[in-house]
Amino acid sequence: MKDLVTTSAPQTFFTARELAEIAKNRGLTCFPQTKRGVCDYVSRVGWDALGSKLARKRIGKVGGGMEYHISLMPEPLRLAYEGSLITAGLKARLEAEHSADDRRIAALKVSTLPARARKVMEARAEILKAIEGYAISQGMSRAWGVAQFLDAQAAMVARQEIEARRDCGEILTDREIASLARPLLLKTGFMIDPERIVVANDRRGKPSVGRSAIYDWFKTRDEKGVVALAPAATKEEMPIPPAFADFLRHYAKPTKPSIADAYGEYLKEAAAKDGVQLMTLTQSQVEYILRVRMNNIEKHVGREGMLTLRSRLPYVTRTTDDMWPTTVYTADGKTFDAEIEDPVSHNAIRPEITTVMDLVTRKVVGISLGRSENQKSVAEALRRSCVSHGICAIFYVDRGPGYRNEAMDADVSGLMGRLGITKAHAAPYGSQAKGRIERIQHTIWDRLAKRLPTYIGTDMDKEAGDKIHKLTRREIREYGRSRNLPTWAEFVKLCEDMVAEYNAKEHTSLPQIRDPETGKMRHMSPDECWEAHVVRGFEPVTVDPAEADDLFRPYEIRTTRRGEVLWNKNNYFDHALAPYHETKVMVGYDYHQADRVWVREFDKETGQPGKLICVARFMANAERYFPVSYEQQAIENRAKGQLKRLERKVAAVEAERAGQQLVDLRAQNIPAGMFDAPAAEMVTIAAPSTVSIAPAEAASAPAAKRLTFASDEALAAWALEHPEELKPNQIAVLRGCLNSSTARELFRMSGIDLEALRNLLRAVA
């Protein structure tokens, strides 16, 4: 072991107490081991009279006293002191080396060594440190420490054997019983757990380490460092047998068969093969390969598609720290998980909500509500966002039809081109890339849906869900609408309040601030983050309210002919279009107004709509006598499709019934003489010659006259005035009328209070 090299000067003067402690710690009997004894010794030999160079007053100490030079110490005492200095230095150096080893072990990456090899390395390093530390504490050499460790290890093995015999019920000798009471040096001196020896040995649970192994560890550590204590890598594993590929053909299927089922099919295939075959694997071998030899990705290839496998792969996190608000808007649609009353038919529907969010501040800047995620709802959500918070630079959306259409993408007339917005699409099946807007759908709309009684999500109790479903359908069937369905106006108000609640609530992905009221640190809310950017100088690109309607109005390129333009199969005419015959113009339309279109010049240089030419009106030479709006035409097309599907279902049911009747008639066993029996003979009955009629005692009372009504409207008006006289058949008629949209409209035009009529029918139900 190398000599100690210290930078601090050793102590040269000692007090009587310090001299006594040195003698006591080293066990010297030739020198006093108490302060009083040392003082008596000093007086006896006369150290105080030797002058200030050998005996002096204590410097800077309270209480006075004398201290004496090291040269006055007896030789045994001085040698003991010098030995303690060397021991302390060795301990300090050993602790420094061990600390460095610990740092090297901690700095190792987890992937550098297998878990087993890392544990073995740490256990071996711990044993070497224990041997060195114990030897230095006793002032002995490393060889002595190794010998003591081997003796302590042998004593530990003997103790374990005695304990095993005792646990088996054998009778122990007095010597063995006494040995059980003695403390083990391995635990009290070396501070080593026997289990660590088993780990360090790395030989299938062998409880002891040999002398040569310990010296090999010391040599390896001193030459190559503590990392070299890890066991050498075992030989390379055998490659996976080729027959495993045959098993994978049955196991790697999207239906996800079990290992046992796939292995059974694999054996059937192997048995059916002719000629030379590969060695058949056992089920244990198959399970081992799947469990140990294949990683979590490989074992799922074929059983899962790339979309699911992607959730197991590493990913890249996108940051928005250096971006301003309105740089990126992202939008997505979601079908609401609760039923709402349709504003037109009063049936139960699940509306589609299109949400637009600012990626930088996580603020919801606009929403739109509709029956489906179409270009109209997307354009409306974008219009609200740009008008209220500013035009964005990038519109990041998926590839749905509501975002990829001519109204949005056309180079000249598209909404993106006229607003100067760059639209970016997420990769197909890449919902992870739009995780922020996807998360908002659950945070806002799922939470709102669960607050309504008509919630139909997966968390809804089945019994309660069936109950509310049947109740709403019965009320719609009997009264035309249900009181348990939120109205459209109520739903709009709930959505607006929910968005305001979300924007005002702290968001964990936003920076932290100190709350001015509580003084505690918390995350910003989207509203606070937006305001913080405004304070730092952010100014949105705003939209002039006077231009908002026309700016967001969809435009298409059309060619005028004789003062007419054609849009949506309707002709629109204006005299101002006469000079533009056979000229391309830009035609703007409104989703709800089909009686007019806005015609502008086509600026070929900028590719944008130019000055307004006119507002062309719907003319009689259109395909329909009355104009059909974009929205109404879509509704009619949907209704036609539903009617066709219903007609096919009716035809299928009628055909099935006709076929069943034919089968039943053929199956009947009709007697042969049933239709051949002779006709029954006619019997003649003679009438009496005279008939006497007794006079009536009293004229019968006239029958009550039954009320009749000229129309259903008259019946409804009479029912509201005479609710107590309603008959069951009249109640059934009125319920059928309320279930018909045409009858409800006739009632409304006749001045019938529909709500009062519904309440009346509910009361008499």
Tell me the per-residue pLDDT of 312-344, one tens digit each, with 9 for 90 and over.
Answer: 777 666 677 778 999 999 988 889 999 999 887
Euclidean distance between CA atoms 352 and 335, whole angstroms: 5
Ranked by mean pLDDT, which of 97-111, 123-137, 403-417 comes out on top? 123-137
- Of residues 386 and 100, more confidently modeled: 386
| Length in residues, the chain | 765
pLDDT of residue 623: 53
102-111, 227-236, 369-378, 592-601, range with the lowest pLDDT:
102-111
Span 529-559, pLDDT tens digits? 999 999 999 998 888 776 676 777 777 889 9
- CA R_g for the chain: 49
User: Can you tell me the mean pLDDT for 144-171?
Assistant: 90
pLDDT over threshold 60, residue 207: yes
User: Can you tell me the mean pLDDT for 407-427?
Assistant: 70
For residue 676, name the pLDDT band (cuts at 50, 70, 90): very low
pLDDT of residue 265: 92
User: Can you tell me the mean pLDDT for 261-271?
Assistant: 91
Domain 1-107 in CATH 1.10.10.10:
yes
User: Can you tell me the mean pLDDT for 184-213?
Assistant: 86
Euclidean distance between CA atoms 588 and 552, whole angstroms: 10
For residue 261, name the pLDDT band (cuts at 50, 70, 90): very high
101-115, 195-209, 403-417, 561-575, range with the lowest pLDDT:
101-115
Ranked by mean pLDDT, which of 62-76, 204-218, 246-260, 274-288 comes out on top? 246-260
pLDDT of residue 450: 94
1-107 and 328-504 in the same fold: no
Cβ–Cβ under 8 Å, residues 126 and 98: no
Cβ–Cβ under 8 Å, residues 443 and 525: no
Span 3-42, pLDDT tens digits? 334 445 667 788 888 888 888 877 777 788 888 888 888 8
Euclidean distance between CA atoms 494 and 369, whole angstroms: 12
User: Can you tell me the mean pLDDT for 340-358?
Assistant: 90
pLDDT of residue 397: 85
Euclidean distance between CA atoms 225 and 219, whole angstroms: 9
Domain 553-631 in CATH 2.30.30:
yes
pLDDT over threshold 50, residue 462: yes
Closest by CA position to 101, among listed 229, 231, 232, 202: 229
Q: Where are the domains of the chain?
A: 1-107, 114-229, 235-271+289-314, 328-504, 553-631, 712-764
pLDDT of residue 559: 92
pLDDT of residue 297: 87
CA dist 627 → 439, 526, 550, 577, 620 (Å)? 42, 45, 21, 20, 9
Strand residue runs (E) in 589-659? 596-602, 609-618
DSSP letters for 322-363: T--TTSEEEEEEEE-SB-EE-TTT--EE--EEEEEEETTTTE
- Of residues 199 and 90, more confidently modeled: 199
pLDDT of residue 56: 80
CATH number of 328-504: 3.30.420.10
User: Can you tell me the mean pLDDT for 276-284?
Assistant: 77
Span 691-743, pLDDT tens digits? 444 444 444 445 555 677 878 888 888 888 888 888 888 888 888 888 887 78
pLDDT over threshold 50, residue 418: yes
196-205, 355-364, 521-530, 629-638, range with the lowest pLDDT:
629-638
pLDDT of residue 666: 47
Chain mean pLDDT for the chain: 80
pLDDT over threshold 70, residue 671: no
DSSP letters for 157-181: HHHHHHHHHHHTTPPPPHHHHHHHH
pLDDT over threshold 80, residue 127: yes
pLDDT of residue 683: 44
- Of residues 162 and 595, more confidently modeled: 162
User: Can you tell me the mean pLDDT for 609-624?
Assistant: 73
pLDDT over threshold 70, residue 67: yes
pLDDT of residue 665: 42
